[in-house]
Structures are given as C-alpha cells and as structure tokens.
C-alpha cells in the first residue's frame, strides 16, 4: 500500500515481485509511506510494516521559469533595492548570494561587459563588496503544497553595476539565478533633456544621456531645416552614463522641429530613438497688463505698488521715485523679478511720483503713480518713544533679575566645590583640605611625567566619569627602570567641573605627602597633548573587602594551622617569632620606603616576574595576626591623614587596598570620588551617601570631622573581623534604622572579634563624638594587641579569638567552637599537645545590651551576606523631625523581647568568637572544667573551611560602654 492505497493500482511504474515493490523511473510524486501487510488467514493473524520513501529533488528556482537570463534591470543611483530568490528542493537547499562586478570596458559579445573572470564574491549581511548589503534573510512557507524557501537580499544603496547570483545547492545538485544589476543615473537608462524652451536669438541646448552598460553608438538626428554648420556637439563620459550635448547658437524660428537621439542596445543590437519637440518662441515687446494707480497712505502704514507686464523674453523691471532709481534697502523691499515694490512704515519723505519701466530686446514700456502720505510725524515720534522706553525697562528688569539670582546663589559656597556631594558643617577650629584646594600649588618640575614614559595597560576599574588603569612607568623619580603604577584619568567627554575635581585631588595628594599606609602620589601628566592623568602607587591585591571574602574558606587563627591540599607549604609558611616581630616592625615603620609594600624601580623583566607571582598572597591562609595588622595599619594611616587636616568621609573596606607583604593603604581620600555607580552609596537628592558607615551627626546634621571618621573606622573594624561581611546584615536601611542608630543601637560583635577588639568598636561608636578615641589612641591599643599576638605565636597556643582563661569565668560554649555537621578531614587546626586557654587582656564588657535578634524581621524582605550596602535615605523633611542630642541616650522600645540580657549572656554571645576551624563538640564539659585536651580529642579537631555565618545582630546600650 502507498499512503493507504494499493501501490500497483496507483501507477503503472509500480511492480510487485514476491515481497518486493519495484518502482521504475522514480519521481518526486513517488515519495510517501509504503506499507506491506503479512497475514495468516487460517489463524486470523496479520502484521504490517511501514517504511517512508523520501525522494531527493534537485533545487529549482522559480524566478528562472520567467527567463533564464532576463534583460538587465535598471536601478536608480543611490536607491534601495530588494532582490528575491524562491527555491524548492529535497533536502532543503542551501542558498548563497554571489556578486560578479561589471568590467569597466564594453565588449561586443552579449553579457561580456559583466564577465565572471574578474572574480566572484560571497555576500553576507553587512558586506560592502560592490554595494552595501543591508540584510540577507530566509523565510520558509508552504506554497502550492510544497515547502519553499524565499531568500531576500536588500541592497542598502545602489552604486556599483554587476550581476547578483542566487545559488541553491543540495546533495542532488544545484541551481543558479542571475540578476543583472545595472546602476544608472539616467531615467529609464536613455533620456533627452532640454534646459528651457529657447527664444528667438538665444542658444538651444539639448542633452542626450544613455547608460554606458546598456547603450553605445549615441548620435543626434536633426530636422532638415537645421544647417549642419550651425551646430556643435560635445560628448561627456561619466561613471554610469554617456552624455552627448547638442548646442545651436542664435536660433531662429526655422530651428523649430523634432530632434531625435539614437543609440544601440548592447544586449539586443537594436537601435533605440528618443525624440524631443522644440518650439522656438518669437520675441515680443513689453506690454502693460495693468497701469499703476495713485495711492494715499497714512503715516506708519505700509504701501505696495505692482507693475504687471508681459513680453518675450521676460522684461527687466526698474523702479524710480521722482526720476531717481530705487534700490532695495531696509524698509524698501523689491519682490520677485522686481514686479512689486513694498514700502514699510511710510514716512513723509516717502511721498512722490513712482514709475516702473519694463525693458527687453524688443522695446520698453512704463507706468507711473503718485503716492500721497497723510498725517504728521508726531504719532511716529510717540511710537518711537514708547518703543524705546519699553526696551529700556525690559533691560533694567533682566539686569535686576540677574543680580538677584546671583545674590541668592552666593551664600551656597558648597555648590562651587568640586564634586562636594554634601553641604558639610565643619568644626570652627578645623579647616578641611577641600576648602583650601584653590590655593594649593602644583610644582610641575617635581611631579610632571612625560606621557611617552607611560605604557597604559588593562583597566582596573571605572565609574561615572573616571577610570583607573594599570600602567608601566619608566623613569619614576628619575630612575631609568620600569615600575607598575596605577593611573587615574577621566573618561572621554568629561566636563570642566570633573577635570577640576581630578586636578583638586592631585593637589591634595601633593599637600598631604608620603606615608606607608596611604596610596601615595608618584607623578602626573597635566600638560596639553593628552588627558589629565594622576599616577599613584599600584596595589595588586585589590581592595580589602573583596580580599577578606575570598579568604573565608582559608581562615585559621593560628598561622601554624594547616589547610587541605597544597594551599599552605609545610614549613616555609611557618615563621619564627623573631621573623614575625621583624615584619611587625616593618609594618609599623612609616619612614622606610623599602618596606612600604611596593616594589622599588625594576627592569621590565622583573615586573613581568612580579606579575606572575601576583597570586602569592592568595596561597597563604588568613590569620588573626593579619586581621589585627590590617586594623593597626589603617589606624596609622588615618592618624597621619587627620594630622594633615584631611577628613576622609568614606572610610570603608572597599577604600582600603592591599599590597605586598600584607601592607594596606588608604585610598580615595581626595575630592574626586567616583561614587555614582556603587551600590554602597544611598541617593539623597542628587547626592549618594554611604549611610552604613556614617556617624549619626553626619546623617542628621551633615557634620564631618575626624570624630566622624573614627565612627567609620569602627564599622571598618567590624568588616575586617567579619571577613568582609556587609555591615548591619538583615537590617533595612530606612528611617527606623537611623532612629535606632541615634538612640544607641549597635551591631553585635562579629564572629572573629575578641572582647578587646569589640570594645574598641563600641568606643568608636559612642554617641557623643567627644567621647570617641583619637586615632593616636587607637594606634596604641591595636599596636599592643598586635605585639601580644606576635609574642604568643610559636607556643602551644590557640589564639585569643577562640579561647579564654578559666580565671575569667566565661568558658567557651560548645556552639561557638563547633559545627553540628562535623566531617573529619585530613587537616587540623592548632597544635596537638599541651593546649591551654589563656587571656592576657581583661576588659570589662558592656553592662547592658539589646540586639536586633529581639526584633521581628519583615517577611517580605530577604537578606543575605551579599546584599548591597545601600537602602533608603531620610529625605530632608524627615530629617528635620529629628534633633541631635549628643551623648544623651534614649532607650529604644522595639522588638518582641523587652528584657535586657545579663552580662553572662552578653559575653557568651559576643566574647566567644567562632573560628572557622571546627572542633568536635562531644568532648566539651561544663564551664567549671579546666580546658585541657588529650591527643584523642584533638584527632577530631580537623575542619578549617566552614564559611562565616550571617551576622544579624546589633547591640543597643542605654549607657556608654565601659
């Protein structure tokens, strides 16, 4: 059966032989489903098998059914054209468009002028070969029961002549359709043009133009009345056409007749004629169609006179007043062909006799009229005086309005500051650098670096108007070698104010001077011939926030702790105590440039080697010593900046950069801060504010000073000891947040902070700015902690952040030392013998605190550790409802639990930071037990890779912390 019908009955070409079906001369209509049925009638059993026959069909192009090679099609120059090619075949053919350019010379053979021998080109969308191809698209549709594909080629602008070929091919064969594409600048390819119908005595100019790819042998056929000696011919060969111009000078009426142009079609060989009827017009003397009439016009009104004449050729018209010719001037307008005379705002002196004289080759004619002006000049003078007074009054009004606007703007000096995103109220005794920037000098002889000494490299970052790129600098500080630097510059199209902002930052960097823990200035390019570039030190490990996050899985308090795999080398990474002391001395020294964490000037090969070792710091684990060291160095840098009267305003981990040897450097303490695309900043009007890092007086009263930087430093400490977590996690940054912050709510201690570190944070977060420590005091406290940490390493010791002496009365709870899902690994944390818990520094904890854990969290909000550090900001009208109370504290009544926590519960939550090294919990005893473990217990203390938990707690203390 074929498609359900007996096959042998359907076609005589079908033959059934035994179990075979033979089809002779297979054609396309033989395609279909063939079924063979096998049956045993006595058992009433049957089975069938169906196969599908697909007949491959050679591609067919339906446009070729009209003509295998049609006569060339003409396409107007610069026009947009659409070419189509409809194809059918089985399997579906692949369609390719080809381009064959025309030769520049003609050939006698048909189509010879478009020879394939000059080369062919495969076309794609956007191709500019020959003509620009706008697009090539294919669309498949069922037409007449067949699945056909139509390919469309769109020529954006016709400029070149040639042949477009549509080639369809499949495994059976291929078909081709050629489209002659002839570009012409002559309508219809053959045309006669006449500039104007001539007048007796003028010249007759006729032009015959023909497309050069279609026609040849162009010639004029003249009327019998034209004398061959009076004509002139000129041929012009253009890019697309040939023009033959016929010129007959000083024609007469006898030159009227039919002029013909003859050309031979290159394709057909036939002659083609174009005809043009020419009628020579006889000359006529000028004649008046209407005479001028006298007019009476009032003063200040307008008057119009029209001279209506005819003649062949067109008469030339001249106007006269009292026999003096009138020329066009202000107040007197001559219309087209001088046929009209228009007088604006007639005055007494405009009265008189007006004449128009029309002249051509055959003669002249004239007409005259008298214009009388009524009224006196008093009215005109009054109007002039009124107009003058009005202009003077308007000028005075705009002058007064301009002065008033300038006076209003003058008090707002903050608007004149470069990129000053807040109107800042400063303490009277402190004058910040950004207010002195206009007077800061720039010594080009000391800081200017030639642009050819810089080789710009990859981009390190960018913002709304600026970008920072890595560069190789030659000759920094007159050294003949190369050094890797960072270059800060403006983007293309930067405004004058943005240029001024970057220049101001350059001056501030010069004024501040050099320090180990800030990003120091190396030079600048300010001269004409290129963009403004500020060259600073390059910190290859990026900002501290990202670095801490990347080290979460590789944090162990003790540097002797090992990590899985090969992340730590067995012995090379374990420094003796003396070596650590030397490194501490290097970090604390601000005078040694060699220990600054940046390379001295090197050769180019040395720089390449350093780049290969750029990830060396990432191979080492992160220890408690590192966290304290980062905190200490930032305090040192801020101590230096505050001594130079520099207020940072945006102290955060994202603005701390990490260099070699674990040296950190403060950046972005100038004015040109590119903050518009950073989610850490909350929009307030046209400004963006880092609310999570801002002190209450900065949020509510816009007061910025060194004490507000101390508050931000406390938040930075929280970031460091939470290993890069976002401050105030799980808290919506809105009006309630600002209110609670003002009333004394604080964050709880991060998991890695010791009691001493958390006490420093609380000291930085005191409500009264005067109660906060100075940066010099912070340097001393952290220096002591850092020195103690270095001295205790190398002993049988577990760091301070995980242990407490039994004398303190607060043993570590099991939930802070262990993970519930503990898995034994091949690594261990800490030493394996003689482990004791010690606490050399005892600081009294806060007396009373509340946490955000006691508050209900909105179900519609989903928070995680990677939330953007932004939120809502209080609008000005909302901020006015709050008053800053200094150190006076209010108790905040919010949350479900109103009871305060005891000292013991506080310490169990904030003074037992959890290490990322996880220990087995079943070996812990009660708080009165002495904490000494044997080797059997230590076998289970193995895991070092648990990620930091979410920090959702904040602390409210009703009294200043002790």
Sequence-distant (6+) residues with CB within 8 A of 789 are 624, 625, 628, 799, 800
467 annotated as a binding-site residue: yes
Q: Look up tokens 């004289």; give the residue.
A: 357
Catalytic, out of 650, 680, 763, 869: 650
The helix (H) or strand (E) run that includes residue 700 is: helix 696-701
466 annotated as a binding-site residue: yes
488 annotated as a binding-site residue: yes
| Residue 438: how many other CB atoms lie within 10 Å | 12
3-state secondary structure of 279: coil
Nearest-Å Rg of the Cα atoms of the chain is: 47
560 annotated as a binding-site residue: no
Measured CA distances, 125 to 44, 357, 777, 883 (Å): 64, 66, 70, 67
User: Up-side HSE of residue 299: CA atoms within 13 Å toward CB?
Assistant: 13
465 annotated as a binding-site residue: yes
Residue 150, Cβ density class (10 Å: 0-12 exposed, 13-18 middle, ≥19 buried): middle
Q: 677 has which bridge partners?
A: none
Respond yes or no: is residue 650 known to be catalytic: yes
Measured CA distances, 379 to 296, 382, 403, 724, 794 (Å): 17, 5, 37, 85, 109
461 annotated as a binding-site residue: yes
**Closest Cα to residue 558, out of 869, 789, 874?**
789
Three-state SS letters, 26-93: CCHHHCEEEEEEEEECCCCEEEEEEEEECCCEEEEEHHHHCCCCCCCEEEECCCCEEEEEEEEEECCC
462 annotated as a binding-site residue: yes
Is 301 within 8 Å of 280 (Cβ atoms)?
A: no
Q: What share of the chain is helix, strand, coil (3-state, %, to 5)?
A: 25, 30, 45
Alpha-carbon distance 101 to 114, whole Å? 6
CA distance between the termini of the chain: 100
* 622, 623, 629, 634: CA torsion to nearest 10: 40
464 annotated as a binding-site residue: yes
Measured CA distances, 386 to 298, 379, 383, 392, 772 (Å): 19, 11, 5, 10, 71
3-state secondary structure of 885: coil
Alpha-carbon distance 623 to 800, whole Å? 11
Is 786 within 8 Å of 820 (Cβ atoms)?
A: no
742 annotated as a binding-site residue: no
Alpha-carbon distance 682 to 689, whole Å? 5
Alpha-carbon distance 354 to 832, whole Å? 124
- Greatest alpha-carbon pair distance for the chain in Å reads 137
Alpha-carbon distance 717 to 761, whole Å? 7
Residue 253, Cβ density class (10 Å: 0-12 exposed, 13-18 middle, ≥19 buried): exposed
| Residue 412: how many other CB atoms lie within 10 Å | 9
Q: 176 has which bridge partners?
A: 167
Summarize the annotated binding site for ATP as residue ranges.
461-468, 488, 654
Summarize the annotated binding site for Mg(2+) as residue ranges.
655, 668
Summarize the annotated binding site as residue ranges.
461-468, 488, 654-655, 668
* Active-site residue list: 650
């Amino acid at each position: 059966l074929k498609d359900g019908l007996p096959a042998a009955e359907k076609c005589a070409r079908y033959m059934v032989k035994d179990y075979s079906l033979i089809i002779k001369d297979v054609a396309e209509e033989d395609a279909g489903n063939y079924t063979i049925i096998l049956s045993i009638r006595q058992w009433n059993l049957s089975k069938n098998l169906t196969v599908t026959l697909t007949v491959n069909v050679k591609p067919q192009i339906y446009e070729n059914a009209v003509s295998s090679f049609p006569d060339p099609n003409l396409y107007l120059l610069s026009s947009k054209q659409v070419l189509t090619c409809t194809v059918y075949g089985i399997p579906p053919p692949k369609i390719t468009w080809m381009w064959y350019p025309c030769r520049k010379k003609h050939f006698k053979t048909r189509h010879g002028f478009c020879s394939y021998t000059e080369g062919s080109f495969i076309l794609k969308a956007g191709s500019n070969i020959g003509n620009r191809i706008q697009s090539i698209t294919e669309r498949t549709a069922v037409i007449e029961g067949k699945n056909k594909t139509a390919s469309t080629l769109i020529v954006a602008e016709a400029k070149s002549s040639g042949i477009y070929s549509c080639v369809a091919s499949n495994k059976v064969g291929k078909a081709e359709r050629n489209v002659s594409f002839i570009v012409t600048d002559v309508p219809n390819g053959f045309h006669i043009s006449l500039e104007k119908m001539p007048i007796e005595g003028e010249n007759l100019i006729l032009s015959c133009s023909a497309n050069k790819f279609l026609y040849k042998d162009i010639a004029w056929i003249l009327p019998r009345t034209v004398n061959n000696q009076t004509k002139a011919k000129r041929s012009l060969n253009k890019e697309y056409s040939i023009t033959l111009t016929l010129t007959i000078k000083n024609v007469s009426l006898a030159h009227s007749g039919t002029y013909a142009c003859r050309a031979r079609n290159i394709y057909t060989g036939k002659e083609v004629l174009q005809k043009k009827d020419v009628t020579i017009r006889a000359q006529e003397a000028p004649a008046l169609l209407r005479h001028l009439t006298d007019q009476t016009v009032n003063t200040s009104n307008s008057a119009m006179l029209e001279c209506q004449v005819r003649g062949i050729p067109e008469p030339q018209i001249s106007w006269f007043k009292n026999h003096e010719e009138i020329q066009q001037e202000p107040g007197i307008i001559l219309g087209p062909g001088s046929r009209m005379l228009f007088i604006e705002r007639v005055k007494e002196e405009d009265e008189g006799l007006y004449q128009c004289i029309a002249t051509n080759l055959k003669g002249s004619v004239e007409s005259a009229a008298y214009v009388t002006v009524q009224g006196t000049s008093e009215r005109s003078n009054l109007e002039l005086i009124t107009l003058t007074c009005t202009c003077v009054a308007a000028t005075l009004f705009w002058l007064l309005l301009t002065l008033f606007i300038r006076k209003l703007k003058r008090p707002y000096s903050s608007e004149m500051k470069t990129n000053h995103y807040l109107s800042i109220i400063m303490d009277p005794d402190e004058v910040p650098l950004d207010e002195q920037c206009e007077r800061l000098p720039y010594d080009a002889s000391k800081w200017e670096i030639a642009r050819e000494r810089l080789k710009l490299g990859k981009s390190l970052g960018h913002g709304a108007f600026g970008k920072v790129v890595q560069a190789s600098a030659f000759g920094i500080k007159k050294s003949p070698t190369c050094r890797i630097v960072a270059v800060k510059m403006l983007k293309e199209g930067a405004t004058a104010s943005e240029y001024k902002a970057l220049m101001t930052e350059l001056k501030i960097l010069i004024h501040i001077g050099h320090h180990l823990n800030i990003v120091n200035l190396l030079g600048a390019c300010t001269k004409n011939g290129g963009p403004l570039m500020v060259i600073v030190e390059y910190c290859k490990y990026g900002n501290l926030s990202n670095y801490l996050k990347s080290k979460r899985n590789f944090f162990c308090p003790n540097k002797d702790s090992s990590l899985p795999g090969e992340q730590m080398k067995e012995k090379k990474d374990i420094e003796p105590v003396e070596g650590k002391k030397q490194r501490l001395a290097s970090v604390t020294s601000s005078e040694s440039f060699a220990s600054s964490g940046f390379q001295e000037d090197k050769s180019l090969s040395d720089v390449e080697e350093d780049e290969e070792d750029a990830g060396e710091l990432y191979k080492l684990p992160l220890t408690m010593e590192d966290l304290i060291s980062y905190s200490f160095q930032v305090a040192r840098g801020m101590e230096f900046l505050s001594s130079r009267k520099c207020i940072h305003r945006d102290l955060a981990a994202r603005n701390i950069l990490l260099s070699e040897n674990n040296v950190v450097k403060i950046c972005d303490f100038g004015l040109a801060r590119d903050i518009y695309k950073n989610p850490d900043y909350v929009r307030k009007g046209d400004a963006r504010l880092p609310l999570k890092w801002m002190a209450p007086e900065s949020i509510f009263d816009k007061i910025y000073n060194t004490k507000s930087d101390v508050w931000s430093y406390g938040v930075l400490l929280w970031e460091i000891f939470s290993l890069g977590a976002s401050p105030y996690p799980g808290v919506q940054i809105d009006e309630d947040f600002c209110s609670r912050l003002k009333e004394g709510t604080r964050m709880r201690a991060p998991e890695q902070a010791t009691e001493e570190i958390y006490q420093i944070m609380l000291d930085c977060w005191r409500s009264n700015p005067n109660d906060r420590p100075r940066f010099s005091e912070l340097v001393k406290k952290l220096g002591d902690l850092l020195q103690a940490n270095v001295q205790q390493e190398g002993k049988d010791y577990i760091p301070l952040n995980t242990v407490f002496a039994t004398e303190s009365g607060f043993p570590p709870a099991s939930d802070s030392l262990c993970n519930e899902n503990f898995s034994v690994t091949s690594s261990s944390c800490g030493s394996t013998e003689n482990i004791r818990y010690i606490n050399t520094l005892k600081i009294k904890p806060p007396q009373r605190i509340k946490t955000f854990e006691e508050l209900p969290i909105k179900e519609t909000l989903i928070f995680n550790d990677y939330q953007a550090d932004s939120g809502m900001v209080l609008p000005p009208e909302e901020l006015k409802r709050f008053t800053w109370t200094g150190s006076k504290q209010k108790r905040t009544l919010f949350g479900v639990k109103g009871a305060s926590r005891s000292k013991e519960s506080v310490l169990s939550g904030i003074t037992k930071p959890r290490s990322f090294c996880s220990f087995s919990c079943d070996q812990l005893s009660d708080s009165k037990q002495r904490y000494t473990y044997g080797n059997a217990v230590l076998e289970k203390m193995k895991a070092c890779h648990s990620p930091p938990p979410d920090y959702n707690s904040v602390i409210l203390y009703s009294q200043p912390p002790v």
